[in-house]
Amino acid sequence: MIKILFVCHGNICRSPMAEFVMKKLVRYLQAANPQVADFEIASAATSTEEIGNPVYPPARRMLASHGIDCSGKTARQMTLADYNHYDYIVLMDQNNLRNLRWILPRDIYERELAQIQDARAPKAGKVSLLMDWAGKSRDVADPWYTGDFEATWRDVNEGCKAMLKAICNQQ
């Protein structure tokens, strides 16, 4: 079982988009190849601002326009238990990385931060940035500020496809 947690600030736009895109990619892959491992995929926030709120309507519409249903998803905050449970903690931007310092013990946070900042091993720990999987050292476009959900869709797709390919190549 491969366990992935996608994380953004509020868990109403980018991380749920990544969660549901990855779930769709995995379903397609497993349909084509039943030998593919099972996955547990979820998403969470670094903040408490949106806890309990559904996926933001424009993000929901973007997913729906690509045949993806995210109904029932509500925002929740990441916990230390999540860090211990998931194999991969995938962040959408550098601000999410900084906010982990309030969730993780200092020694774990500093170790993960050092590994992400090491250009030779940006995915050596549990914590990574989604666009690093696609070989791009930049944040996933934040539609909360840009209003450009299409750009976020493209980033999330590119990052999730690259991540899934890398994980499958490790198996």
Q: Which CATH number fits domain 2-170: 3.40.309.10, 3.40.50.300, 3.40.50.2300, 3.10.129.10?
A: 3.40.50.2300
Q: How far apart, in whole angstroms, are the C-alpha atoms of residue 97 and residue 116?
A: 9
Stretch 131-160: mean pLDDT: 94
Q: Where is 58: in which H helix or E strand?
A: helix 57-65
Taking the C-alpha atoms of residue 160 and residue 72, their distance in angstroms, rounded to an integer, is: 22
* Residue 14 falls in the annotated catalytic set: yes
Question: Is there a contact between 15 and 101 (Cβ–Cβ < 8 Å)?
Answer: no
pTM of the model: 0.95
95 has pLDDT over 90: yes
Closest CA to 132 of 144, 142, 123: 123
Please pick, among 132, 142, 155, 160, the residue that the annotation labels catalytic: 142
Note if 160 is an active site residue.
no
123: tokens are 């995915």
Residue 139 annotated as catalytic: no
111, HSE (Cβ side, Cα atoms, 13 Å) = 8
Q: For tokens 């999410």, what's the residue?
A: 96
pLDDT in tens, 61-84: 999 999 999 999 999 999 999 999
Q: How large a percentage of the chain has pLDDT more than 90? A: 84
| Predicted pLDDT at 22 | 98
Angle between the 149-170 and 57-65 helix axes, to the nearest 10 degrees? 60
Listed by start position, the domains of the chain span 2-170
117: CB partners within 8 A, 6+ apart: none
The yes-or-no verdict on residue 98 having pLDDT over 80 is yes
Q: By percentage, how much of the chain surpasses pLDDT 70? A: 96
120 — pLDDT class (breaks 50, 70, 90): low
Exactly one of 8, 13, 70, 160 is catalytic; name it: 8
Amino acid 125: pLDDT? 83
Angle at 105 between CA 103 and CA 106, to 5 degrees: 110
By C-alpha distance, which of 154, 27, 40, 163 is closest to 90?
Answer: 163
pLDDT at 26: 97
> Which residue among the candidates 14, 93, 139, 155 is catalytic per the annotation?
14
Q: Which residues contact 93 (CB under 8 A, 6 or more apart)?
A: 8, 129, 139, 140, 142
